[in-house]
A and B are shown apart, each in its own frame.
Chain A
Amino acid sequence: MTSTTIVAQYVRRTTLAQRHPKVLMGSLGALAVVLSFYSLSVGATEVSMGDVFNALVGDTTDQAARIVLDFQLPRVLLCWLVGIALAVSGGVMQGVIRNPLAAPDVIGVTKGAGFAGMLLLLAIPGLPVFAVVPAAFAGGLGAAALVYLFAYRRGATPVRIALVGIAVSAAFEAGIRFLLVRNPLDVSAALIWLTGSLFGRSMSSVLEILPWVLVLVPLIVIWSRKLDVLGLGDDLAAGLGEPVEKTRRMLLLFAVALAASAVAVSGTIGFIGLIAPHMARRVFGGRHLASIPAAGLFGVLLMLFADMLGRGLAPPLEIPTGLVTAVIGGPYFLYLLVKTGK
């Protein structure tokens, strides 16, 4: 990947988004909301739209309302939060590293966070789950640092980061599997850590990830100018008065924290952080003020879609969300790879 193709990617815009970015963004948001309502009604037990509405406005007595509020609502909220966290994290990483292949799962953050989170849970069994977030954060940060360290050799090229990231991910995944066989959990818990799943999550999980998203995402959007400046290259950015290294480190820290909080509640869900920012850039162009929020929305849409597919394909069986995102995201990544080679 040469710098010209990256610049070209940043400059390209489709005309509709150029003329009416707000309209398009609004309709994406509306679509996500509609999809969320629909998602509240599908699952092992079908609930009618009317019941969903009743449950949400306050009639919480009957059984349908309990299902909606206790089981479906946390899931849908988690889809939003995890989707936003992963997609924004990926968008920031792609901007900061100036690497279209960067994403929390590609550079090892998700597997590292998953490994650390699982290690802590197994080491101290009675631990409240909110303590997993700092552990996952440390693991994610450690993995990212390892990848950068190993990939750095007179600069870290995009492909080398991607390849070393895959290798480091493989190491952490081996670690996760080792922990799984050493301390057998039940199947659903195992699958959560192997592939990522929103099964059986409650409101407490929502509350664990919520503060991270509420604080970090607005901060990143406010800093989106800095991302644009970093995208111009280190020399030019420094010339424009940006403390390049400091900004880059802060932004990466935010991105890792977002991804780690997502992993802590949902396990290692792959490909969202990779493909949502790409979709956003294709539609809204390379300005981060538009593309970061758009990436968040695409992340939400992808998560809702994957979660509904996982629940609705063969009820009462649940296919973990992470598997569905891998099946959707894998081909997209291969397509990107083929395209960047030309």
Chain B
Amino acid sequence: MSLSAGTLPRPAESGDGEHRRPRIVTSKQRVTWVTAALLLVLVAGIVWSLSIGSQHIPLTRLPGAIFKPDETDELIVHSIRLPRVVLALCVGAALAVAGALMQAVAANPLAAPEIMGVNAGAVLVVVLAVTIVPSLSGAPTILLAFGGAAAAGISVMLLAGSGRGRVSPVRLALAGVTASSLLISLTQVLIIFDENSTDSVLFWLVGGVNYAGWHDIRILLPWLVFGLLGSFALARSLNLLALGDDMARGLGQNVERTRIFGSALVIVLCGAAVSVAGPVAFIGLIVPHILRRLVGSSYTVLLPLCSIGGGVLILYADVVSRYVRPPYEVPAGVVTALIGAPIFVYLARRQKVTS
């Protein structure tokens, strides 16, 4: 799929009219600008996130703190704030890319891990496992989370799709949200049996990176790399899928195989992210939508940008969440939910979704 400006029916600089029709490809220049802006925002966010907190650490000491931590302040940065930043970026990348994948695979603008019950399923299974075997952590938890995510996602698809050939976006969303609320309720029941602190309730309900440690990242990283590379490799097939099943088949695509691979990647990405950071809300819904507006819907461009954009969103949500109730740490998911819910309202309102 060519990305050169010459193939555009309508150049990106054409003013207001460009928003009326979704663009498949966008000019290379625009993609470069968006990427550069994202990276800039990312770097600023990392520096901000490292320097603020109950202990303020000046910018000049950050390099030393990252590479050669000696004093207390520098150790704070190295062992508390740096893992937090890295985990925010990893989890954001996983959830945002998973959201974009789901939207492509389900051909449904409202598909997202938190709406389809995938995150809730993963959380329920993880909480259940930890309740039964308190010592459980690391790799087995992630595998269980995959199971929960897969079971929930597949059940919702089956429920929404039963009775008719094509699943309408709104039915999928209704089934998914109801299934999510059911799974979340069950999770809360388990938490009440197990522990009685608002913090743990909030962590498993809204998700966040405030308890991040290096070992969380070590657990997440292999799955994340596998999931991201797999998604990027699938991007061209997803572009063809966006043309419609018949067209994609006509162009020699194995549509079913693309869907199955895509779904498997969603489960890997969401299960891994949720089992270390909880269900951080709305990342998978809003990041792909915002970026699609900026760079068009070619997945070869969209997926890599989502992996940056998701990280940026959680990073900033985490920074903002530290201002909510200082000196306490608040889960970043509270902030992402506040940002994401109005965007969800906007998406739900659109004609395309509900007609």
Contacts and interface: CB of A to CB of B under 8 A. Distances in A.
Given A184-B198, A195-B188, A319-B189, A163 B179 contact: no
A214 B263 CA distance: 53
A326 interface: yes
B164 A163 contact: no
B201 interface: yes
B173 A171 contact: no
A327 B174 contact: no
A153 interface: yes
Nearest to B281: A174
B196 A330 contact: no
Contacts of B324: 178, 181-182
Interface stretch (B19-27, B235-243, B295-303, B346-354): B346-354
Interface string B186-205: 10110011001110011001
B185 A327 contact: yes
A323 B201 contact: no
Interface stretch (A62-70, A91-99, A116-124, A154-162): A154-162
A167 interface: yes
Contacts of B192: 191, 317-320, 323
Interface residues of B, number: 48
B144 interface: no
A19 interface: no
Contacts of A331: 182
B258 interface: no
Interface in A169-189: 170-171, 173-175, 177-178, 180-182, 184-187
B178 A337 contact: yes
B9 to A, nearest CB: 29
Contacts of A195: 185, 188
A101 B174 CA distance: 10
A338 B159 contact: yes
A177 B337 contact: yes
Given A190-B198, A323-B188, A181 B325 contact: yes
Interface in B323-352: 324-325, 330-331, 334-335, 337-338, 340-342, 344-345, 347-349, 351
Interface residues of A, number: 49
Contacts of A318: 192
Given A159-B170, A194-B205, 19 more contacts: A150-B348, A159-B174, A162-B174, A166-B174, A167-B341, A167-B348, A168-B345, A170-B345, A171-B345, A184-B198, A194-B188, A195-B185, A319-B189, A319-B192, A330-B181, A330-B185, A334-B178, A337-B175, A338-B162
25 contacts: A163-B173, A163-B348, A164-B345, A164-B349, A167-B348, A171-B341, A177-B334, A178-B337, A180-B198, A182-B324, A186-B198, A187-B201, A190-B198, A191-B188, A194-B188, A322-B185, A323-B185, A327-B182, A330-B178, A330-B181, A337-B174, A337-B178, A338-B162, A341-B160, A342-B163
Interface of A: 101, 150-151, 153, 157, 159-160, 162-164, 166-168, 170-171, 173-175, 177-178, 180-182, 184-187, 190-191, 194-195, 270, 314, 317-320, 322-323, 326-327, 330-331, 333-334, 337-338, 341-342
Please provide the 4 A-B residue pairs with the shortest distance between their CB atoms, ordered closest to farther: A330-B182, A171-B341, A174-B337, A326-B185
